[in-house]
Amino acid sequence: MRDLIRRFLPQSVRGQFAAVIIVTVVVILSAGSVVENVTASIDLPAVDDSATRTAVVAALLREAPAEARSVVLAAAAQAGFDFKILPKEQIDSIPVSYLQWRNIEWLFRFNNEPTDGRWLTIDGEYAFVLDLDQQAVLAHFGVPDTLLTSGFIRSLFYKFMAFVAFPALIWLFAVWAVTNPLRRISTAVGSAEIENSDELFIERGSIEMVGLVRALNRMRARIRTMIENRTRMLRSVSHDLRTPLTRLRLRAERMDDGLIRTAMLSDVQHIEELINETLTYLRNDVSTEKLQRADIASVLQTVCAEFSDVGFSVSYSGPDRLLGWCKPNALARAITNLCDNGVKFAGNVTVALTLTETTARIAVGDDGPGISMTARSRVFEPFFKEDTSRGVASKHGFGLGLSIVADIIQGHGGKIELQDNQPTGLIVTVDLPNGPVASPS
């Protein structure tokens, strides 16, 4: 059914809007014709006819002699209409029930109602009153007290269709044709990964939406190509540097001067660390690794054990087992980077794992100098370094470690925050979502 509708529906949003408007107008006119035919076949009292009858009888009475007025009233009575001539002073003393008839007059206007006509309640009975002359008025009694008249129903139907049904149909179509596709595209763009070779979004919908999706796909392909070209260039440069660095290391190790040899080997090691850091940042296995059910506690314990084995004070606290959804290799790299930053600037590092209702919380704390408040908003940016805030003027890398951590946690759909440790130091808190479930230890 949906494919059949799409086949006959115009392909552009402009054409679809025009088609919806035309169809809606045709439906309103057709439904109005049906309503008019139905109401015409139902014997309903017509309030609006009272004004017309009163105007006709009043015109006859004005032209008739005084002695013939009773004949006109008698003829109207024989036809079933109750007309009376009343003194004008009596009518003028009756207050006009404004609120009683204002709604009727607002919903539909009486085309034949004279400008001096009034709707009144005389002795508890509705009447339409029209001036005859300076002394008398004509009162038409027996006016129906119901709004269910043919004229009212038709007027109310058209007003309802014009002010309620028609805007509602346009709104529903706008949601279906514009809002929902844009929301799907926005969701796809927000969740897409540049490194993923899949299409950004399926090209379907109106001509405008298909054109938008194609443009986004082409832009994504250009961005991916640009990133891949620069990544290949940086990898090539980094790999090409390893050969001369190896020669420098061999030559430095053969030097007789111990101080110069030590300084040169330190510089060579630093350059190798920069190269390794760059290659690690350029690796795309963070984004390509899939979420899987894994023991988060085991991942953290392994990282802490690796640091402890080489003499660093890195300890773990938390459950022995905690199953949850994560990317084990990427998570291990992120926690390794956090611990590596900690041991560079502090003597002790702790990794704590706790379970909340919806997240697994990992807190990596140290007792170092911490990070200033002004720098915390930028520490996760690539190549940002603030070693001076840590009290160290060293040459530790390009400043990509925390940027890698932020990318990994973002790939998990998690959050990362920086807090002060007491009495000194920094705590990096990582919240991993996807509802991890603890297993008995």
Question: 358-406 pLDDT, tens per residue?
Answer: 889 999 999 888 888 878 777 877 666 665 444 444 455 545 568 888 8
pLDDT of residue 46: 59
DSSP 162: I
d(CA 346, CA 355): 27
Q: Please give the full DSSP string across 276-323, using - where no structure is assigned.
A: HHHHHHH--HHHHSPPEEEEHHHHHHHHHHHHHHTT-EEEEES-S--E
SS3 347: coil
Indicate if 372 and 274 belong to the same structural domain: no
* 150-160 vs 13-41: helix crossing angle, rounded to 10: 170
Contacts of residue 333, defined as CB under 8 A and 6 or more positions apart, other chains included, come to 280, 286, 404, 408
Is residue 261 in some structural domain?
A: yes
pLDDT tens-place string over residues 203-256: 777 788 888 888 888 888 888 888 778 778 877 877 778 788 888 888 888 888
Asked if 91 and 117 touch (Cβ cutoff 8 Å), the reply is no
pLDDT of residue 146: 55
Mean pLDDT of the chain: 77
Is residue 84 in some structural domain?
A: yes
pLDDT of residue 331: 92
Indicate if 52 and 106 belong to the same structural domain: yes
Q: Whole-model pTM above 0.75?
A: no
Q: Where are the beta strands (DSSP E) in 115-225?
A: 118-122, 125-131, 136-141
d(CA 299, CA 288): 19
pLDDT of residue 112: 46
* 207-253 vs 13-41: helix crossing angle, rounded to 10: 150
Number of domains in the chain: 4
Domain termination residue (choose one: 281, 303, 327): 281
Adjacent-strand bridge partners of 418: 428
Indicate if 240 and 306 belong to the same structural domain: no
Domain termination residue (choose one: 259, 281, 303): 281
Burial class (CB in 10 A: 0-12, 13-18, 19+), 348: middle
Peptide bond into 423 cis (omega under 30): yes
Contacts of residue 281, defined as CB under 8 A and 6 or more positions apart, other chains included, come to 382, 398, 400, 403, 404
d(CA 134, CA 136): 6
Indicate if 295 and 376 belong to the same structural domain: yes
Residue 383 structural domain: 290-432
Indicate if 330 and 420 belong to the same structural domain: yes
pLDDT of residue 287: 58
Q: Among candidates 298, 317, 313, 319, which has minimal Cα distance to 349?
A: 313
d(CA 249, CA 268): 7
The Cβ of residue 383 has, within 10 Å, a number of other Cβ atoms equal to: 10
Is residue 266 in some structural domain?
A: yes
**Tell me, what CATH number does 79's domain have?**
3.30.450
d(CA 138, CA 123): 15
Q: Which residues of the chain have pLDDT under 50?
A: 99-100, 103-104, 106-115, 388-394, 398, 436-441
SS3 364: strand
